[in-house]
Structure formats: C-alpha cells, structure tokens
Amino acid sequence: MYFDFKKLDRIIDYWLLPAYHFEGPWSVMTAISSSYLRADLMVLNHLKILPPDKILLGIPTYYLPVVVDSTVKKIRLSSRLKVNFTPNQQLSTFRQLCEQAAKGGLTVVHNESSTVNSYAFLKNDFVSFESSISAVNKMRLVFEKNLAGTFVASITTDDYDGKACNCGNFHILRSINNALRGSVSEVKTCP
C-alpha cells in the first residue's frame, strides 16, 4: 500500500510516530519492543518525507507481553518464545508492572548490555517496557531532530496516583515532561 505523504501532509496537522511495539506476540524471540535505536531509525526514515515540526514521537505506557518457551532455562533477551500462547495481561501496563513488582516474584532488568530499555518476567511471562530512563533518552530524539514533540497514547496506564510504584504520580509522564522542560537532574527508575 502506498500513501502520498506530500499530499496528505497538506491536510494533516501532526504525524504520530509510535516508537514502540516493534516486537510482540508475532516475534520468535524476546526483544526490546521500543528500543531507542529502532525509534531513531524510524524517525530518520520519516524525516526523508515529512517535516520535523509536524512529527510527534510516541512513548508507550502499555505493553505486549509474550510467553517464553518452557525449554528455556534462563530468560534474557533473545530467548525463544512459545508459539500460540495467551499473554499474561497483568503485565501489560506500567502500573501493573509496579503492582506485580510489589507482590514479589517479578524479575526486572534495566539496561542489560548496551540496551537502554528494560524488561521484566514472571515465570515464563516476559514483557519489554519503557522505563523513565529510556523515555527521557527518547526525548533527546525530539530535541536533536527538532520534532514537534511527543505523545503518550494512554495516560491511565501510567502510575496515575503514584501508589503502585511509589515514585510519584504519573511517573513516566513526569519524566517526559521534565526532560522536555530541561529539568532532568536525576531519573528515578521504577519498578
């Protein structure tokens, strides 16, 4: 399918580029679903056909959990996924991740190797998620590429009252806001 972006651009106020869900239930192995590098590549490709002042970069607060194959002994990035699974919906939002972490049993990994995103797993249920650090890093793209700004598709999936993560209300949104205002001194990682 082909779209004439130049014609469409005349009638569209902003282009929403969701920098997430690059990986999910259709994948064959665990991976970072909203990596900075893939977001950067996506922005660069769209800048070839769209003006930067009309692009809004999307940051997720909801996720696509997957199930790791039961033969995998140690879950990490690139672990083989189970085929035909029912995902654990209790790991599909930032708030739910915080709630699961508080209950115990959830393993959270931040910044494995050179990756600037995070993932978590509970038994064989795996989910890659946007941490406050990776969200702040993506705000660099907004500034470096002179984009119009950012968007979050669902604010109710953030920790809206601050009770699940104990990191203050709307932890991801506040991190994004602080980065856009240039007032990031230290970013607290949750969960």
Coil, strand or helix: which one is 47? helix
pLDDT of res. 113:
56
pLDDT at 187 over 80: no
How far is 62 from 129, CA to CA, in rounded Å?
8
Model confidence over 162-181: pLDDT tens digits?
999 988 999 999 999 999 98
Model confidence over 73-127: pLDDT tens digits?
999 889 999 988 888 898 999 999 999 999 999 999 887 555 567 899 999 999 9
pTM: 0.89
User: DSSP of 24-38, one letter per residue?
Assistant: STT-SB---TT-HHH
